[in-house]
Amino acid sequence: MLTNFYPIKITFDEYDVWRIPFKEGRLNKLRELYNSTHSFFRHEDFIYCSNMEGDEIRGGHFHRAKTFGDEKVTSSLIKHIFFRTFRKQFDVIPLQFYPFLIQSRNKTDDLIRHLLPNELQDRVAFKKQIELQLRLIETLEGQQFGFVINLPRKWVFDIDCEELANEGFNLIGMEVLHSMPLPGLKHVLAPDATLVGRILSIEDQWASIETNEGVQSYPLVELLPHKTTRNISSYLSFKLGAGQAADIVEYVNESKETIYNTKHIQTEIQQFARRISLTSAPERATIGYLNKDGFYFTISSNSEVKGKSYTFKSPSFVFDAARTKVSTQADFGLSDYGPYDSDLFSPKDLKVLAICKKANRGFFTQQLNALFDGIPTSKYFKKGLKRKYEFQSIQHTIEEVSEFRFEEYDRIISHLDEKPDIAFIEIPASFRQYRIEDNPYYLIKARLLTKDIPVQFITTEVFKTANEYVLNQVALQMYAKLGGIPWVLSSAQSVDREIVVGIGNSFIYNNAYVGNNQERVVGITTFFSGDGQYLLSDRAKDVPYDEYFDELLKSLKSSFNELQKQQGWRVGDTIRLIFHIFKPIKNTEFDVVSNLIRDYSDYKVQFAFVTISKQHPFLLFDPAQEGRKDNWTKKTVGQYVPLRGTNIVLNSSSCLVQMLGTKEMKTGKHGSSNPLLIKIRKPEGNANFQDIEELLFTDLHYVVQQLYQFTYLSWRTFMSNENPATLLYSTLLSDLLGKLRRISFWHPDTVNTSLKRKKWFL
């Protein structure tokens, strides 16, 4: 198994580093005076110096540091020495210091160079960048520093607004960046560019810009166009014509299948790793990463990490409370045994409101019959919704709209004689093109949810040709939206009560310009039992950021009080709480959880605070994986992509897990897939949580195995998902609620009524 982590070899356990006591203003002064020969960084009460080619600076002294005992000092030295050595060795100005980022100068790394006239080459481009981040992991051989290498591709639009205006290109309405050299770092780092706003007008080489601080003026020469596909396409249309511009953008899109191919990415990363390692140059000359004080390291070109890994068990699926009806395949188990909650589920006599376009009633009613009663010749959907989910009857009312307009649907919804259990509605695929505020999809959904009616949409294009696979999936979603539990997991039984909580949040911004403070934030929580039973969800109120802590705590307490009564918790019970969250907001969520725990002193509480992220630099590669043929294109997909469940333990609290493997890749357009980084968190910084330290649940193997099994619980499909249901549901809720809030008649508290126990958002 290969990674994109390239180990750094340091041959000493201790080293000497020059440091000077910190005082206000001293760091900037030292950089101003000695930047050409020294690098400086602060750690705690000292300024540390990396002397590359100068003399010792007065006022300091050597300090003996430990390579792995003073990791922050060691890592800063590595970054600064690498930065200086790389710049000197390759004569390049990086785009930023850290993560270390440079733009490839290789002409073949510009995807569109051959499609542009000479005067535009290198000024407009789609180029490869090289990004390095330093990480410290634990291997079977001990702690190991290393560089994680990635090769993102980005648009380049290197023409300032003054030149664009002089060419006659219309800049009005364009979003722009303000570009200024960093103080003391001219010719060392690329200028800093900040998105400031949108150009309102131009006069005498100055632009009036709508910013978050009001209308402000900037000289055009200091402004750069925002590097969006839209802006670049607009400029290329201006220079080359709309047809050629469209061809260039289309060429980039079509090429992504090749450049983001996992095997291709690994090959390119390996080539760059050789350049910065001991065998970088053709004559195999050594690059020495060292300073005058004797700190020295080398970089390996071997990315095979010898680390610990776990063996995961794929879950079995359970279809009764006694746990006697078990299957290794969710779909077949459902057909054989019926849903898990069949004995308790209500209503058994299902009332469905079906709405279709008048002109489509013929095929709509035929397909509706297949959905309800099944397809006799089908392997997967012979029973249909009625018998597969054990309804006694399905009573349906079919209403017609003459046109696909919200007013037509609303006329029916507003005059219902009887409230249905669920609505099944035909819509056209063209609704995707509408603005959210005017989109009938969201307008209809908002109207129905306000009446506590979940809705299943299906497009005309899909339903007209829907086969057993499509209808099978639609029926599963409908049962879940009605509040049903199709199956649970065969998790090991424990005397401890266990609740898995997904915490999501959604920030509400005006725009992405500098100076923008998020207006409000909303917390979303979903609750599952340890075996995957969906218990409930809760949406906190939209509040200003500084009130988020109190509102999220209030929301969690309300839900826990409800679960406490529902499950009959008794004094002295051990309650294990596993919290899943994409990314902590500093210590905010940890503070909330800690306060929540302190309020439940009647119980023995254990908890783990787990972050799950795809926003990290690590990649996994399996050179032995030859891939498989795409049934449609006949192309090979999934080369070098590890199998689902492949993992590497990075340290005692972190593990990388590949969730999207070769078998899960539908087409080559999936590109390379990041593994999930799963980490059991502890509070950071100076926070004091000593009183709950003993309550922390730190069994990484248990946490990761459980999370892996929760990826089989989406109930949107019978297939596994890349994310666990806890975070998938929180994300779906957050995204949908963020869009519904833009509907004028929507009431956010709607989802905290009877809908909170239903998966209406699937």
- CA gap 470, 742 in Å, rounded: 31
Quote the percentage of the chain above a pLDDT of 90. 54
- Residues 734, 537 contacting (CB under 8 angstroms): no
DSSP string covering 703-724, please? HHHHHHHHTT--SS-SS--SS-
**Residue 210: its H or E element:** strand 206-211
Angle CA(234)–CA(235)–CA(241) in degrees, nearest 5?
Answer: 80
**Among residues 491, 607, 485, which one has the least CA distance to residue 556?**
607
Mean pLDDT for 69-75 is 95
Give strand pairing partners of 20.
47
Length, in residues, of the chain: 762
User: Does the N-terminal peptide bond of residue 347 adopt cis geometry, omega within 30 degrees of 0?
Assistant: yes
Lowest mean pLDDT among 10-24, 237-251, 512-526: 512-526
Instruction: For CA atoms 487, 492, 495, 499, give the dihedral sign.
Output: negative
Q: What is the number of other CB atoms lying within 10 angstroms of the CB of residue 108?
A: 9
**Among residues 615, 612, 606, 658, which one has the least CA distance to residue 504?**
612
- Angle of helix 262-276 relative to helix 242-259, nearest 10 degrees? 80
CATH of domain 346-481: 3.40.50.2300
Mean pLDDT for 5-26 is 94
**Among residues 24, 25, 16, which one has the least CA distance to residue 48?**
16
The tokens of 350 are what?
């299902």
Q: How far is CA 333 from CA 369, 529, 615, 725, in A?
A: 23, 21, 36, 20
The tokens of 285 are what?
């000359």
- Residues 504, 525 contacting (CB under 8 angstroms): yes
User: pTM, whole model, 2 decimals?
Assistant: 0.87
What confidence tens digit (pLDDT) does each residue in 138-163 have?
999 899 999 999 999 999 998 999 99
- CA gap 356, 369 in Å, rounded: 14
Mean pLDDT for 206-230 is 89
Q: What is the pLDDT of residue 278?
A: 61
What mean pLDDT, rounded, does the chain reach? 87
Q: What is the number of other CB atoms lying within 10 angstroms of the CB of residue 123?
A: 13
Residue 483: pLDDT over 80 = yes
Region of 398 please: left (phi>0), alpha (psi -120 to 50) or beta: beta
Q: What is the number of other CB atoms lying within 10 angstroms of the CB of residue 51?
A: 19
Mean pLDDT for 404-432 is 95
- CA gap 459, 430 in Å, rounded: 9
More confident residue, 134 or 689: 134
Q: Is 640 helix (H, G, I), strand (E, B) or coil?
A: coil
Sequence-separated contacts (24+) of 239-242 with Cβ below 8 Å: 239/120, 240/117
- Residues 551, 591 contacting (CB under 8 angstroms): no
Query: Beta strand 349-357 with 422-427: parallel, antiparallel or unpaired?
Result: parallel
- CA gap 597, 547 in Å, rounded: 20
Lowest mean pLDDT among 490-494, 630-634, 638-642, 742-746: 490-494
**Among residues 615, 621, 727, 729, which one has the least CA distance to residue 677?**
615
- Residues 674, 614 contacting (CB under 8 angstroms): yes
**CATH number, domain 491-612+678-757, options 3.10.270.10, 2.60.40.10, 3.20.20.370, 3.30.420.10:** 3.30.420.10
- Residues 760, 450 contacting (CB under 8 angstroms): no
- CA gap 199, 580 in Å, rounded: 42
Q: What is the pLDDT of residue 281?
A: 47
Burial 559-586 (b: 16+ CB within 10 A, else e): bbeebbeeeebeeebebbbbbbbbebbe
- Domain ranges, ordered by start, for the chain: 2-299, 346-481, 491-612+678-757, 617-673
More confident residue, 504 or 375: 375
Q: How far is CA 547 from CA 537, 580, 586, 686, in A?
A: 21, 21, 15, 22
- CA gap 162, 762 in Å, rounded: 49
User: At 686, is the pLDDT very low, low, confident or very high (cuts 50, 70, 90)?
Assistant: low
Q: What is the pLDDT of residue 284?
A: 44
Mean pLDDT for 18-43 is 92
Give strand pairing partners of 539.
524
Mean pLDDT for 199-219 is 89
Mean pLDDT for 359-383 is 94
Residue with tokens 């680390």: 307
Q: What is the pLDDT of residue 629?
A: 78
Q: What is the pLDDT of residue 687?
A: 57
Q: What is the pLDDT of residue 87?
A: 86
**Residue 559: its H or E element:** helix 548-567
Residue 16: pLDDT over 70 = yes
DSSP string covering 359-402, please? GGHHHHHHHHHHHHH--TT-SS-SSHHHHHTT-SEEEEEEEEES
In sequence order, the 6+-apart residues with CB closer than 8 A to the CB of 390 are 338, 339, 342, 345, 348
With 0-12 / 13-18 / 19 or more C-beta atoms within 10 angstroms meaning exposed / middle / buried, residue 241 is exposed
User: At 169, is the pLDDT very low, low, confident or very high (cuts 50, 70, 90)?
Assistant: very high
Mean pLDDT for 626-633 is 76
Residue 703: pLDDT over 80 = yes
Q: Is 594 helix (H, G, I), strand (E, B) or coil?
A: helix
Residue 260: pLDDT over 90 = no
User: At 285, is the pLDDT very low, low, confident or very high (cuts 50, 70, 90)?
Assistant: very low
- Angle of helix 440-450 relative to helix 725-740, nearest 10 degrees? 100
In sequence order, the 6+-apart residues with CB closer than 8 A to the CB of 369 are none
**Among residues 121, 120, 89, which one has the least CA distance to residue 107?**
121
Residue 283: pLDDT over 50 = no
**Among residues 564, 569, 527, 532, which one has the least CA distance to residue 712?**
532
Quote the percentage of the chain above a pLDDT of 70. 90
**Among residues 627, 637, 636, which one has the least CA distance to residue 671?**
637
Mean pLDDT for 654-665 is 88
- Residues 499, 528 contacting (CB under 8 angstroms): yes
Mean pLDDT for 106-131 is 93
Q: What is the pLDDT of residue 120?
A: 94
Q: What is the number of other CB atoms lying within 10 angstroms of the CB of residue 714?
A: 23
Round to the nearest angstrom and report the end-to-end CA distance of the chain.
Answer: 36
